[in-house]
Chain A
Amino acid sequence: MARIFCDGSEAMARAAIASGLRFFAGYPMAPSSDLLEQLTGKLPRAGGVCVAAETEIEGVNMALGAAMTGNRAATGSTGQGVALMQETISECALHETPLVVFTVGRMQQDYFQSTRGGGWGDARTICMAPKDVPEAFELTQRVFHLADKYRMPAILLTDGMLARTQVSVDLTPLELEALPPKDWAVDGTGTGTGRSKTHWTWNEGKVNNPGPGPQKHWSNLAEKYAHVAQVEPRWEAIHTDDAEVLIVAFGTAAKFVEYVVGEMREEGHKVGLFRPITLWPFPEEALERAAATAKVVGVFELNAGQMIDDVKISVPNRRLVRAIGGISTDRSGLSIGDLLDAPVVRARIETLMTGVNA
Chain B
Amino acid sequence: MNVAATVPPPNSVKRSPFGTKLLLSEDHPLCPGCGHPVALRVILEVLEELSLVGRSVGIFGHGCSAMMIGQMDVDLNLSLHGRAPATATGVKRMLPDRAVFTMQGDGDMVSEGLAEVLHTAARSEKITCFLLNNGVFGDTGGHMTAASVIGQRTKTDLTGRKAEEHGYPIPISKLVASLDGVSYVARASVHNAAGITQAKRFVRKAFEHQMQRTGFSLVEILTMCPTGWVSKTADGPAYMMETLGQQMGLGELKDSLAAG
> Is there contact, CB below 8 Å, between A191 and B54?
yes
Inter-chain contacts of A316 with B (CB < 8 A):
none
> Is there contact, CB below 8 Å, between B13 and A61?
no
**A143, CB-defined interface residue at 8 Å:** no
Chain B interfacial positions (CB closer than 8 Å to A): 3-4, 6-8, 10-14, 21-22, 24-25, 47-48, 52-57, 59, 69-80, 83, 86-95, 98-100, 115-116, 119
> Is there contact, CB below 8 Å, between B76 and A198?
yes
Q: Choose from B24, B90, B99 the contact partner of A65 (Cβ within 8 Å).
A: B90
The closest CB in chain A to the CB of B22 belongs to A192
**A91, CB-defined interface residue at 8 Å:** yes
A49-80: CB near B (< 8 Å → 1, else 0) gives 10101110111011111111101010000000
Expressed in whole angstroms, the minimum distance between the Cβ of A95 and any Cβ of chain B is 8
Inter-chain contacts of B48 with A (CB < 8 A):
192
24 residue pairs from A and B, CB less than 8 Å apart: A22-B94, A23-B93, A23-B94, A54-B115, A54-B119, A58-B89, A61-B79, A62-B87, A62-B89, A63-B90, A64-B79, A65-B87, A68-B91, A186-B76, A187-B98, A188-B75, A191-B56, A191-B74, A192-B48, A194-B13, A198-B69, A199-B78, A208-B7, A209-B11
Q: In the complex the two chains form, what is the Cα distance from A205 to B9 in whole Å? A: 13
Inter-chain contacts of A53 with B (CB < 8 A):
86
> Is there contact, CB below 8 Å, between A207 and B87?
no
Q: In the complex the two chains form, what is the Cα distance from A62 to B116 in whole Å? A: 10
Beyond contacts A61-B90, A191-B57, A198-B78: 8 other A-B pairs, Cβ-Cβ < 8 A, are: A53-B86, A57-B86, A65-B87, A67-B90, A186-B57, A188-B57, A191-B52, A198-B77
Chain A interfacial positions (CB closer than 8 Å to B): 22-23, 25, 49, 51, 53-55, 57-59, 61-69, 71, 73, 87-88, 91, 95, 186-202, 204-210, 213
> Is there contact, CB below 8 Å, between B4 and A213?
yes
Inter-chain contacts of A186 with B (CB < 8 A):
57, 75-77
Expressed in whole angstroms, the minimum distance between the Cβ of A5 and any Cβ of chain B is 33
Q: In the complex the two chains form, what is the Cα distance from A59 to B59 in whole Å? A: 16
Given contacts A54-B115, A62-B90, A66-B94, contact A191 B47 (CB under 8 A): yes
> Is there contact, CB below 8 Å, between B90 and A66?
yes
> Is there contact, CB below 8 Å, between B90 and A91?
no
Inter-chain contacts of B3 with A (CB < 8 A):
204, 207, 210
Q: In the complex the two chains form, what is the Cα distance from A53 to B122 in whole Å? A: 12
Expressed in whole angstroms, the minimum distance between the Cβ of A94 and any Cβ of chain B is 11
Given contacts A62-B89, A91-B80, contact A208 B98 (CB under 8 A): no
SS class, residues of chain B in contact with chain A: mixed
> Is there contact, CB below 8 Å, between B4 and A196?
no
> Is there contact, CB below 8 Å, between A66 and B80?
no
> Is there contact, CB below 8 Å, between B10 and A208?
yes
Expressed in whole angstroms, the minimum distance between the Cβ of A208 and any Cβ of chain B is 5
Expressed in whole angstroms, the minimum distance between the Cβ of A123 and any Cβ of chain B is 13
Inter-chain contacts of B11 with A (CB < 8 A):
194-195, 208-209
The closest CB in chain B to the CB of A193 belongs to B54
Inter-chain contacts of B52 with A (CB < 8 A):
191
Inter-chain contacts of B24 with A (CB < 8 A):
206-208
> Is there contact, CB below 8 Å, between B87 and A187?
no
Q: Choose from B7, B88, B99 the contact partner of A207 (Cβ within 8 Å).
A: B7
> Is there contact, CB below 8 Å, between B83 and A58?
yes
Expressed in whole angstroms, the minimum distance between the Cβ of A117 and any Cβ of chain B is 15
Inter-chain contacts of A61 with B (CB < 8 A):
79-80, 83, 86-87, 90, 116
Given contacts A191-B53, A192-B21, contact A87 B70 (CB under 8 A): no
The closest CB in chain B to the CB of A187 belongs to B95
Q: In the complex the two chains form, what is the Cα distance from A68 to B88 in whole Å? A: 10
> Is there contact, CB below 8 Å, between A199 and B76?
yes
> Is there contact, CB below 8 Å, between A64 and B87?
yes
Inter-chain contacts of B12 with A (CB < 8 A):
208
> Is there contact, CB below 8 Å, between A65 and B75?
no
Q: In the complex the two chains form, what is the Cα distance from A188 to B127 in whole Å? A: 14
Inter-chain contacts of B13 with A (CB < 8 A):
194, 208
> Is there contact, CB below 8 Å, between A188 and B90?
no
Q: In the complex the two chains form, what is the Cα distance from A205 to B70 in whole Å? A: 6
> Is there contact, CB below 8 Å, between B90 and A25?
yes
Inter-chain contacts of A196 with B (CB < 8 A):
72-76
Inter-chain contacts of A69 with B (CB < 8 A):
57, 90-91, 94-95
Q: In the complex the two chains form, what is the Cα distance from A49 to B48 in whole Å? A: 30
Q: In the complex the two chains form, what is the Cα distance from A69 to B75 in whole Å? A: 10
Q: In the complex the two chains form, what is the Cα distance from A139 to B4 in whole Å? A: 42
Expressed in whole angstroms, the minimum distance between the Cβ of B49 and any Cβ of chain A is 12
Inter-chain contacts of B98 with A (CB < 8 A):
187-188
> Is there contact, CB below 8 Å, between B77 and A199?
yes
Inter-chain contacts of B6 with A (CB < 8 A):
207
